[in-house]
Amino acid sequence: MTGRTQSRGGRPTMKDVAAHVGTSIKSVSRVLNGEPGVSADTTERILRAMADLGFRRNDLARGLRQSDRTGTVGLVLPQAATRYHDSLVRGLEEVARRHGSLVLTASSGTAAQERETLVSLCSRRVDGLVVVPAGTDHGFLQPEQAAGVPIVFVDRPPHGIDADLVLTDDAGGARRATSHLLEQGHRSIGVIGADAGIHTVAERLRGHREGLTEAGLAQRRNLLRPGCETAAQAAAACLSLFASPDPPTALFTLNNQCTIGAVRALHTLRRARSTALVGFDDFETADLLDPPVTVVAHDVGEIGRRAAALVFGRLEGTITGRSGSHVLPTSLTERGSGGIPPQR
Amino acid sequence: MTGRTQSRGGRPTMKDVAAHVGTSIKSVSRVLNGEPGVSADTTERILRAMADLGFRRNDLARGLRQSDRTGTVGLVLPQAATRYHDSLVRGLEEVARRHGSLVLTASSGTAAQERETLVSLCSRRVDGLVVVPAGTDHGFLQPEQAAGVPIVFVDRPPHGIDADLVLTDDAGGARRATSHLLEQGHRSIGVIGADAGIHTVAERLRGHREGLTEAGLAQRRNLLRPGCETAAQAAAACLSLFASPDPPTALFTLNNQCTIGAVRALHTLRRARSTALVGFDDFETADLLDPPVTVVAHDVGEIGRRAAALVFGRLEGTITGRSGSHVLPTSLTERGSGGIPPQR
């Protein structure tokens, strides 16, 4: 018992955490018990100190005690809901409701906002957490996890924490989309997508490159248009591709918004019927557009159901052992736009 | 001091509430202070007893005490998010974030689920509530409101409670849509919508009738197809309209899902270019369909911002006095489908 922040044979106590942060034991207790009255900033410093010191509640892991349950699961999304997230929420709620649990959804936005949102949800106590991560470090969630709160990440792997993960076979789907276009004879495929720093985007780009490599082709930089966050940006990117001296004969768009933006631009250019197009993600009116849009489809509701099954399985002890990755498949829904042959 | 459930000069206390419900004072205190450990059922009975007995916290109204704030606003939607709700959430979050507050969204579903969801949110303490109501009685929220938690209803008026309300001019928008079709010479307009018991649907039907009446026409029952909750049901309703001996020459669809279902059916029937169509609510690909779809548009994000402004205005004392109704306007976005003349 010599350390400044350790007492009682090396196991840190609430007092140690309070001393480390420079706050009162009452504040630490409040954070631990999910009571209000501690600022977000102090809450975060307390949670970080718990992680740094390896603090553990010395009662049983919270998740094992039925009476401590709050009947709520937190879902954190990287931005306000999009069509994609609707299905995710619905899948999650379907399973949560069967377990008598309420899903509380919050948006994160930036990495800082994500941290604040997660800390706020934890301090209000949830039985489990499902996170579509925006930030790059989730180590601050370790004390919560250690206290018995199951945490499941969706779409993108977390950093600084070992947790269950539900992914889509992004690379496989992109490879399939690329092969479909190559089979029609296309050798010049424009790619429009969001920021390549996002895990799903990087994976889809990797799958596209693999598809090209299989056919003995290399990725050409001038055909790539990453960084499109909105349909309007995707439309502009599409226009710029066709304004270049060597325009593509086909397009692969990496999400819904990019697909819709590209279709809008192709209509403007009167190229919708002469340019092949495959989009990643299905969307509601894809079959009603002219031509109907071929997409890489995946069951987003199933991602939500799977994430919920992991949360409740861990909570109820039917799933034990180390955390794992679950990769869900994609399929190609051919509607017509992907079958257009190369034209100049 | 003679009443069974009243003491101290007629003002009910926590003890009175506990006695009324047949539970412990500790449970009542927990519900009041948003602490866990009380079942949803008991929580609800306690909240109902507080309403019945006229229980009020005897400290200052909670909303006036900055230190009691939890920095969260609850949003309850009648079902898992739809495209319409995305914009609502975004608008609400935009304003909440400026006030340093987190929006927690939960879905309700049935009236019973709504009550459970609202009770659960209240027992977890939120600074304010925004509700798109599904249920028919919201009197159980009175104690929460009396304790200083601003409650704003959206889209549909509540029952059993007097609260701020943000509505869309549904009747006005429907009247405008109907007049637009009548101006093209249509005298037989099919109407496809959701359950007519829903306030917004009833208002849109009323506006449609008023538009017909202005033109000296009466609503014909055989042209009405209510009760369509999904695009597939709307498509089936559309097919049935055109299978009748006296099919319409134009359609008015009362929401997004109905519009998309009707377009799908018109494509199947090869009638998309010969049947006029106006839909209530705009949607992302409306301009990309063939023909582009004319819609009654309204700014759903503004509904969210307005609701948030009411919550924070009440919370911060910049809005005082009796609750009021705020009706937001609609506009007709003409894209082509509404301008098709009658054809047989």
Flag whether the ipTM exceeds 0.95.
no
Query: Which pTM was predicted?
Result: 0.82
Per-residue buried b or exposed e for B176-185, using 16+ beta carbons within 10 Å of the residue's own CB: bbbbbbbeee
Are B104 and A107 within 8 A, CB to CB?
no
Tally Cβ neighbours within 10 Å of residue B232.
14
> B13, B122, B19, B26: which is closest to B57 by C-alpha?
B13
More confident residue, A76 or B56: A76
Beta carbons within 10 angstroms of residue B288's beta carbon: 19
CA atoms of A108 and B242, how far apart (whole Å): 47
Q: Is the CB of residue A185 less than 8 Å from the CB of residue A338?
A: no
Question: Closest Cα partner for B159 from B114, B205, B109, B105?
Answer: B114
Nearest to A104 among B85, B106, B260 (CB): B106
Query: Checking phi first, is residue B321 left (phi over 0); if not, alpha (psi -120 to 50) or beta?
Result: left
Span of A204-208, A249-253, B169-173, B322-326 with lowest mean pLDDT: B322-326
pLDDT bucket at A47, cuts 50 / 70 / 90: confident
DSSP for A188-208? -EEEE-S-TTSHHHHHHHHHH
Give the minimum alpha-carbon distance from B65 to chain A in angstroms, rounded to a whole number: 12
User: Could you tell me the CA-to-CA distances from A140 to A50, B20, B334 in Å, in that order?
Assistant: 9, 44, 51
The C-alpha atoms of residue A93 and residue A126 are separated, in whole angstroms, by 15
Residues of chain A neighbouring B116 (CB-CB closer than 8 A):
102
Q: Rounded to an integer, what distance in angstroms lies between the CA atom of residue A224 and that of residue B99?
A: 40
Confidence at residue B182, expressed as pLDDT on a 0 to 100 scale: 98
- Among B27, B42, B7, CA closest to B16: B7
In the prediction, which pLDDT does A35 show?
Answer: 66
Q: B88 φ, ψ to 5°?
A: -60, -50
* CATH number for domain A71-168+299-329, candidates 3.40.710.10, 3.40.50.2300, 3.90.1150.10, 1.10.10.10: 3.40.50.2300
Residues of B in contact with A70 (CB under 8 A): 36, 124
Q: Read off the pLDDT band of A54 (50, 70, 90).
A: low
Distances (CA, A) of B230 to A288, B194, B281: 16, 8, 15
Report whether A48 contacts A103 (CB < 8 A): no
Nearest to A341 by CA among A259, A249, A212: A249
User: Which pLDDT band, with edges at 50, 70 and 90, does B53 fall under?
Assistant: confident
Please give the average per-residue pLDDT across A159-180, as a whole number.
96
Give CA–CA dist A302/A92, Å, rounded: 8
From A117-121, A221-225, B129-133, B252-256, the region with the lowest mean pLDDT: A117-121
What pLDDT does residue A82 have?
A: 62
The edge-to-edge listing of strands for the beta sheet with B331-333 is: B224-225, B189-192, B250-253, B276-280, B294-297, B331-333
Span A228-240, mean pLDDT? Answer: 96
- Contact yes or no for A286/A292 (Cβ under 8 A): yes
Could you say which of A124, A260, A267 has the minimum Cβ distance to residue B124?
Answer: A124
| Chain B residues touching A114 at Cβ < 8 A | none
Average pLDDT over residues A29-36: 70
For residue A327, give the amino acid letter. Answer: V
In this prediction, what percent of chain B has a pLDDT beyond 90?
Answer: 59
Distance (Å, whole) CA B64 – CA A149: 34
How many angstroms separate the CA atoms of B66 and B60, rounded?
11
Contact A80 B89 (CB under 8 A): yes
Picking from A40, A69, A102, the nearest residue to B120 by CB comes out as A102
> What's the pLDDT at B234?
97
For B103, the closest of A85, A106, A267 (CB atoms) is A106
Contact between chains at A36 and B70 (C-beta distance less than 8 A) = yes
Per-residue confidence (pLDDT) for residue A288, from 0 to 100: 97
- Chain A residues with at least one Cβ partner in B under 8 Å: 34-37, 40, 67-72, 80-83, 85-86, 89-90, 93, 97, 102-107, 113, 116-117, 120, 124-125, 231, 260, 263-264, 267, 283-285, 287-290
Q: Is the pLDDT of residue A274 over 60?
A: yes
- Largest Cα separation within chain A, whole Å, is 79
Q: Cα A331 from chain centroid?
A: 19
**Domain ranges within chain A, ordered by starting residue:** 8-53, 71-168+299-329, 170-297
Confidence of residue A33 (pLDDT cuts 50, 70, 90): low
Of B35, B85, B97, the CB nearest to A35: B35
Q: Which residues of A303-341 are buried (b: 16+ CB within 10 A; e: fewer)?
A: bbbbbbbbbbebbeeebeeebeeeeeebebbebbbbebe
Which one has a higher pLDDT value, B53 or B183? B183
- Per-residue pLDDT band for B338 (boundaries 50, 70, 90) equals very high
**A176 contacts A169 by C-beta, under 8 angstroms:** no
According to the model, what pLDDT value does residue A254 have? 97
A78–chain B nearest CA distance, Å: 12
Which two structure tokens, joined as six digits, stand for A178? 């690329």
Q: What string of DSSP letters covers A261-299?
A: HHHHHHHHTT-TTTSEEEEES--TTGGGSSSPPEEEE--
- d(CA A91, nearest CA chain B) in Å: 9
pLDDT confidence tier of residue A87, bands split at 50, 70 and 90? confident
CB-CB contact of A171 with A206 (8 Å): yes
Kindly give, in sequence order, each residue whose CB lies less than 8 Å from that of residue B240, ignoring residues fewer than 6 positions away. B225
Mean pLDDT check: name the lowest of A170-174, A207-211, B27-31, B339-343.
B27-31
In angstroms, rounded to a whole number, what is the distance separating the alpha carbons of residues B95 and B305?
6
**Beta-carbon separation of A89 and B67 below 8 A:** no
Sheet containing strand A164-168, strands side by side: A325-328, A164-168, A151-154, A128-131, A72-77, A102-107, B102-107, B72-77, B128-131, B151-154, B164-168, B325-328
Backbone φ and ψ for B22, nearest 5 degrees, come out as 80, 40
* Dist. CA A333–CA A108, nearest whole Å: 32
Kindly report, residue by residue over B62-81, the tens digit of the pLDDT. 333 455 677 889 999 987 54
Fold of A170-297: Rossmann fold (3.40.50)
pLDDT tens, A101-153?
999 999 888 888 888 889 888 877 789 999 999 888 899 898 888 888 999 99
B71-168+299-329 and B170-297 agree in CATH topology: yes
Does position B235 have pLDDT exceeding 80, yes or no? yes
Closest to A36 (Cβ–Cβ): which among B89, B125, B287?
Answer: B125
Read off the DSSP letter of residue B129. E
CB burial class (10 A; 0-12, 13-18, 19+) of residue A251? buried
| Mutation for testing the A interface, residue in B285, B290, B295, B305 having most A CBs under 10 Å | B285
| Topology annotation, domain A8-53 | 434 Repressor (Amino-terminal Domain) (1.10.260)
Give the residue on A whose Cα is nearest the Cα of B101: A117
Cα separation, A41 vs A266, in Å, equals: 49
A285/B290 Cβ within 8 A: no
Confidence at A321, pLDDT banded by 50, 70, 90: confident
